[in-house]
Amino acid sequence: MSQFLKLVQSRQSDRRYLDKPVEEEKLNLLLEAARLAPSACNSQPWKFIVVNDPELKAKVAKATYSKLIRFNKFVPQAPVLIVIVIEKPKIVTQIGGSLKDKEYPLIDIGIAAEHITLMAEEQGLGSCMLGWFDEKKIKELLKIPVQKRIGLLLSIGYPNGKKRQKIRKKEEDVISYNQYKV
């Protein structure tokens, strides 16, 4: 098996973290992997905000769950959160997206986020992509301009637990050649 497939196979969404800080060198590698990610027309429609100040991180983490929605209750354990802000893409990307009814910046930040999570895995770190959060609250906490949108949050830290077996659909259920097959 290729090294890359081994990396992809071992990467998982970690929801338990050790009480151990993430080294700056490792964090810089994650951010460089994200910065180098491809994007439509090279727009690079992102800004990455690293939240590692413990008090601020606790407030941002609290904005990822509520009394009713508790599935992100693990987030405060993570020593680092990365907030991905969607920036305005190049005009050619905007026109193309409008003509093709595609949200290219969303695709682009997904690619950048996956670069982060794969680099995290390679560095022995765990990660989890979060799409559920109180955007207004987090924008206030991080002084993000009102007109900006937060695309994703990522929790980063040393995983506390064993790797789970990946369960995926069968190849024949998700792959076909030359035509769509039911």
Task: Using CB atoms within 10 Å of the CB of residue 109, give its burial: 0 to 12 exposed, 13 to 18 middle, 19+ buried.
Answer: buried
Sorted by where each begins, the domain ranges of the chain are 13-145+153-161
**What global pTM score does this model have?**
0.95
CA distance 5 to 10: 9
User: What pLDDT sits at residue 135?
Assistant: 97
3-state helix vs strand vs coil in the chain, percent to 5: 40, 15, 40
pLDDT in tens, 15-70: 999 999 999 999 999 999 999 999 999 999 999 999 999 999 999 999 999 888 88
> CATH 3.40.109.10: does it fit domain 13-145+153-161?
yes
pLDDT-based confidence at residue 94 (cuts at 50, 70, 90): confident
- Identify the CA nearest to 152 among candidates 121, 111, 123, 94: 111
CA distance 26 to 30: 6
